[in-house]
Every structure is written in C-alpha cells, then in structure tokens.
Amino acid sequence: MDLLTKYLPLVLQGLTSTLLLGVVSFILGSTLGALVALARISRLRLLRGVAIVYVSIFRGTPLLIQILLIYFGLPQVGIRLEPIPSAILALTLFSAAYLSENFRGGILSVDVGQWEAANSMGMPYWRTLRRIVFPQAIRIATPAVGSRFIALMKDTSLASVVTVTELTRVAESIGSSTFRYMEAFFVIGAVYWVINTLLSTGQGVLERRMGRAYAT
C-alpha cells in the first residue's frame, strides 16, 4: 500500500494514458470496423476482397508486431509518428478488424424480411441500414463489442514497448527503481482489474436497458 501511495502521481499518469489509448482506439476502431463490415457485405467484389484481406492481416498477426512495425518501420518510408499516435493507430487498426466481424454478424442476424419490407416501401439502402438494420445489429452485437472493448483496454499494455508511459510501463519503472517487482505489478494488475470490472458492469447495464427497450 505504501508503494501505491508513494508513486500515486505516476500511477495516475499511467492510468490517464491507458484510458486515452483504450477509449480513443475503441471509438476510431468502431468507426473503421463498421465501414469494413459494410464492405464485407457489399455486392462489389473488389470492396469485399479488400475488406477480407484487411481483416485477415490484422487478425492473423500479433498486435505487438503491428505496433513495432508502425513505430519502427514507418520512419524508414518517411512517416514518423510519436509513441502515443503510433500506439493508437496500431490499436485502432487491430480492433477494427475484430469489431468489423462483430458488426457484420449483427447485421447478418437481422431478418432478411426487414430488408425486403423496407425495399418494398421504396426506402433507400442507406436509410434502411441507418433506421432499421443498424440499430438492431448494434443491440445484437453489444455483448461481443463490449468484450472487445475490455480486451482492448488490456491490449494497451503492449504500448509500453514503444515507451508510452501507460500502466504497464509505470509498473516496470517502479519495479526497476525499488526492486519490488511483485508488488508493483500486483498493484497495476489490480488497477486493470478495477477498470475492466467497471466496464463489465457498464456493459451489463447497457445490455439490460437495450433489451428492455426492444421488449416493450
């Protein structure tokens, strides 16, 4: 406990960076993931192909490799990013690949009759998607999307390899200066646990509220 008290400012700095990485990457990843999901169900073969290749690459390679490629590899082609933008870019691209599958599954779960009914009323494709299909798809995909957000929050720990001062980096710093590695990582692990417990609770509340909204 004395370790947490002594290094509280450093832990709070790491917590701020972790939340920034997780929240920003999730928002950007959700946006990109939704677009990739729409590309996957598109009638255009080229668009579907590009989306399939994108998902295959970013789901089929380790996130750590992607972070290192962006931070250390891009400067070799003239693109230099600071540690935090590099980590956000990698986390966004990685999470978007998984989220696109969550969204695609939700969209495909909506009964095809609703598409046909909207089409018979002359409703354009994008309006059908926005007003009828996507709200239902989001409700269906919420458990999977929530789980991805929680996993993404833990994945932010990999940003420590490119010198981002997030929680894992803080634990390493405290451990190296005090040689109390077990206590340092235990404290930081507890912080991650609290974050993800709160996220899990919020996800449960959201699922129940959305379920009641569609049940009435």
Domain ranges of the chain: 2-215
Instruction: Give the architecture-level CATH label for domain 2-215.
Output: Orthogonal Bundle (1.10)
Which helix (H) or strand (E) segment holds residue 150: the answer is: helix 134-155
Question: What pLDDT tens digit does each residue of the chain (216 aa) get?
Answer: 677 778 888 889 999 999 999 999 999 999 999 999 999 988 899 999 999 999 999 999 999 999 999 999 999 999 999 999 999 999 999 999 999 999 999 888 888 777 778 777 878 877 888 888 888 888 888 899 999 999 999 999 999 999 898 999 999 998 888 888 898 999 899 999 999 999 999 988 888 887 665 555
CB 82 within 8 A of CB 102: no
| Cβ atoms of 98 and 59 closer than 8 Å | yes
- Whether pTM > 0.95 for this model: the answer is no
Give the distance, in angstroms, between the CA of residue 10 and the centroid of all CA atoms in the same chain.
Answer: 25
